[in-house]
Amino acid sequence: MEAVLRVAFVYILLLAAFRVMGKRELGQLSPFELVVLILIPEIFSDALVGGDHSMTAATIGGSTLLALVFLTSVLSHRFRGFQRLVEGQPTVLVHDGRFCEREMNRTRVQPDEVFAHLRAAGLERLSQVRWAILEEDGKISVVPRDPDEGVDQSRDEDIHA
Amino acid sequence: MGHSRHADPPQPPQPPQIERRIELPAPQVVGVAILFLIPLAALLGVFDRSSRDEHAEVAGLEVHLTYPERMRYHQSGSIEVTIRNTSAYRSDSMRVTFDPAYLERFASVTFAPSADEAYSVALPGLDPGRERRVRVDLEADRGGRQRGWVQVEAGPTGHAELPLRTFVFP
């Protein structure tokens, strides 16, 4: 019984912690942040097994974790509100060639990071972007403007507050 | 360089919604049921350590045995034999013997009081109403069902044998 409760507690704790940390932490890990992330299982491993290193305890812990992951995915699929609670929502970083400054500050995304994704998408100027969106998984999606649309290069430094 | 200000951030086109419902193929339902069954059984205490009691009477002595019924690998447990003199007379000396084959399937076996012979503890006679206890501490070392016995001998004729049945989760 204790193993189930320990795993459930750590699962909920980590779920909440990652939601609080924000999407950026998931998608844009620096080498140091990666090391910190690797330390988490090291810290929790002893607390999870509670000194019980039997195969039974490992089976109970593993199946509890997988059952919680499955339950979370089922609830996320069934209830949109739960999905938003657990996964968050996409955040618009650029709209019609303008930075959304408030959203960028909230998600701690630098203009340089957005431009790196623009270049990866084959774009060089902000004015070429219809949408740049920080997705729920922390990745930045870039939707270019229609090439037939007139590109107003004066927008390259525009900012949505 | 025109900085425009908006109260609400612009929203990209939203995907059309579908009727959200859970549809699992039959084999996945079975798999998921098994997946949930394990933690559920654990919550109900199926995999927890538990003990079992046995009683016997021999030559005016009441014998009470407590032993681990379920244990996990490397988990510690103990067997306790409590002998109480329920007669009006002082009992003969006693001997409590544990099944060697059973105890050899466990590790770190220690006796209190100490065994004077292999897996056997001698006890002096008991005054009426008094009791003595023999305790064996052990650690589960082999998974599966372990069966054995405890014998209590009191004087030349008194003899009782109580079963030991322990399941060790691997």
The pLDDT tens digits for A98-120 are 999 999 998 888 999 999 999 99
Residue A139: phi, psi to the nearest 5? -90, 155
Inter-chain contact A77–B22, Cβ cutoff 8 Å?
Answer: yes
Tell me the average pLDDT across A42-63. 85
Nearest to B35 among A55, A63, A96 (CB): A63
Residues in Cβ contact with A44 at an 8 Å cutoff, skipping those fewer than 6 apart: A10
Inter-chain contact B9–A102, Cβ cutoff 8 Å?
Answer: yes
What is the per-residue DSSP string for B45-87? TTTS-EEEEEEEEETTEEEEEEEEEEEETT-EEEEEEEEEE-S
Considering only alpha carbons, which residue of chain B is nearest residue A73?
B22
Query: pLDDT grade, residue A21 (50/70/90)?
Result: confident
Tell me the average pLDDT across A84-106. 91
Residue A1 with chain B: CB contacts under 8 Å: 42-45, 48
Interface membership of B16 toward A (CB under 8 Å)? no
Inter-chain contact A1–B21, Cβ cutoff 8 Å?
Answer: no
In the numeric block, the tokens 């012979």 are attached to B117
User: Coil, helix or strand for B8?
Assistant: coil
Min distance B65 CA to chain A CA atoms (Å) = 26
Inter-chain contact B36–A67, Cβ cutoff 8 Å?
Answer: yes
* pLDDT at residue A25, rounded to an integer: 56
pLDDT of residue B5 exceeding 80, the answer is no
Joined tokens for residue B25: 């193929």
Taking the C-alpha atoms of residue B93 and residue B162, their distance in angstroms, rounded to an integer, is: 19
Count Cβ atoms below 10 Å from residue A60 Cβ, excluding itself: 28
Min distance B35 CA to chain A CA atoms (Å) = 6
Cβ–Cβ < 8 Å for B147, B163: yes
Task: Note the pLDDT tens digit of each residue in B130-167.
Answer: 999 999 999 999 989 999 999 998 877 788 999 999 99
Interface membership of B15 toward A (CB under 8 Å)? no
Taking the alpha carbons at both ends of chain A, their separation in whole angstroms is 51
pLDDT of residue B23 exceeding 80, the answer is yes
Interface membership of A30 toward B (CB under 8 Å)? no
Interface membership of A135 toward B (CB under 8 Å)? no
Considering only alpha carbons, which residue of chain B is nearest residue A141?
B12
Residue A40: phi, psi to the nearest 5? -60, -50
Task: Note the pLDDT tens digit of each residue in A128-155.
Answer: 999 999 998 888 999 999 877 655 555 5
Query: pLDDT grade, residue B3 (50/70/90)?
Result: very low
Taking the C-alpha atoms of residue B56 and residue B161, their distance in angstroms, rounded to an integer, is: 8
pLDDT of residue B109 exceeding 90, the answer is yes
Give, as one character, the DSSP assignment of residue B117.
Answer: B
Query: pLDDT grade, residue B1 (50/70/90)?
Result: very low
Cβ–Cβ < 8 Å for B82, B133: yes
Query: pLDDT grade, residue B7 (50/70/90)?
Result: low
Q: Looking at this protein, which amino acid is placed at residue B150? A: V
Pairing of strands A159-160, A98-100: parallel
Taking the C-alpha atoms of residue B135 and residue B112, their distance in angstroms, rounded to an integer, is: 5
Inter-chain contact A60–B39, Cβ cutoff 8 Å?
Answer: yes
pLDDT of residue B120 exceeding 60, the answer is yes
Tell me the average pLDDT across B15-38. 90
Count Cβ atoms below 10 Å from residue B160 Cβ, excluding itself: 19
Q: How far is CA A87 from the centre of its chain?
A: 8
